[in-house]
Amino acid sequence: MKRSSFLTFVFSAVALVAVSMMDWSSMCHPSEAAQATQDQIRHVGEAKLASLDPSPVTAAPKASEVEVVSDDALEELTWQTLSDVEFTDVYLEELDAYYWMPKFGESVVASEGKAFFITGYMIPVDVDEDFYVLSRYPFANCFFCGGAGPESVIDLRFPDKSERAYQTDERLTFKGTLRLNSDDVYQMNYILEGAVEHEL
């Protein structure tokens, strides 16, 4: 091997090692939407840890009021539908911070209280507190760098405790009843009540 070819090979190898060792997360700066999502998840997690009331924003319907839907007739709740929402930056004294207050669109409001299935990527926020979020986007794909706003995540509320410990970015489908939250900062905007894994 010629000396120049050998030096080129060595420099290329060193450059490759240097690039692979860089901390790319330091180059990731969350968008405004992603920062709002981070804040929302943090507030809900803190509320659960502090044993604040993590119950649904709206009262769960009585068994006699629940429309029984067979799995075959269950409709899909799409992330596109959940994106029918606008956010206003509102200052909250209790947090001494700004909060993105949602105004849900007609298609989202029409979906509240209905049973659906939805597919996404798992984000285990706090396994001990059984706090799992289903996301439109994988966490590994620099979740908080992109446009992952509060409308791109849904809080999974299991009937009891989750059946197992879920792993980050497992792509799964869950069924349950959609609940909306527009004013409680200690809840996610979207909540899937009675969430259970669903086979397509």
Q: Is residue 88 part of a domain?
A: yes
- Over the stretch 50-95, which tens digit does the pLDDT of each residue have? 765 555 444 444 444 445 556 767 999 999 999 999 999 888 888 7
Query: Quick one: pLDDT band at residue 116, thresholds 50, 70, 90?
Result: very high
- 183: domain CATH number is 2.40.50.140
Q: Is residue 3 part of a domain?
A: no
CA 162 – CA 132 distance, rounded (Å): 9
CA 162 – CA 72 distance, rounded (Å): 24
Query: Quick one: pLDDT band at residue 11, thresholds 50, 70, 90?
Result: very low
Q: Is residue 72 part of a domain?
A: yes
Residue 7 pLDDT exceeds 60: no
Total of domains in the chain: 1
- Give the mean pLDDT of the chain: 78
CA 165 – CA 124 distance, rounded (Å): 8
Q: Is residue 136 part of a domain?
A: yes
- Over the stretch 137-178, which tens digit does the pLDDT of each residue have? 998 766 666 667 899 999 999 998 888 899 999 999 999 999
CA 183 – CA 188 distance, rounded (Å): 10
CA 15 – CA 17 distance, rounded (Å): 5
Q: Is residue 114 part of a domain?
A: yes
The region of weakest confidence among 44-48, 66-70, 119-123, 157-161 is 66-70
Q: Using CB atoms within 10 Å of the CB of residue 64, give its burial: 0 to 12 exposed, 13 to 18 middle, 19+ buried.
A: exposed
Q: Is residue 111 part of a domain?
A: yes
42 DSSP assignment = H
Specify the amino acid at residue 48: K
Q: Is residue 137 part of a domain?
A: yes
Kindly report the pTM of this predicted structure: 0.74
Domain region containing 61: 29-197
CA 132 – CA 157 distance, rounded (Å): 8
Q: Return the percentage of the chain with pLDDT > 90, whole number.
A: 41
Q: Is residue 16 part of a domain?
A: no
Dig out the tokens for 67 from the structure: 């429309």
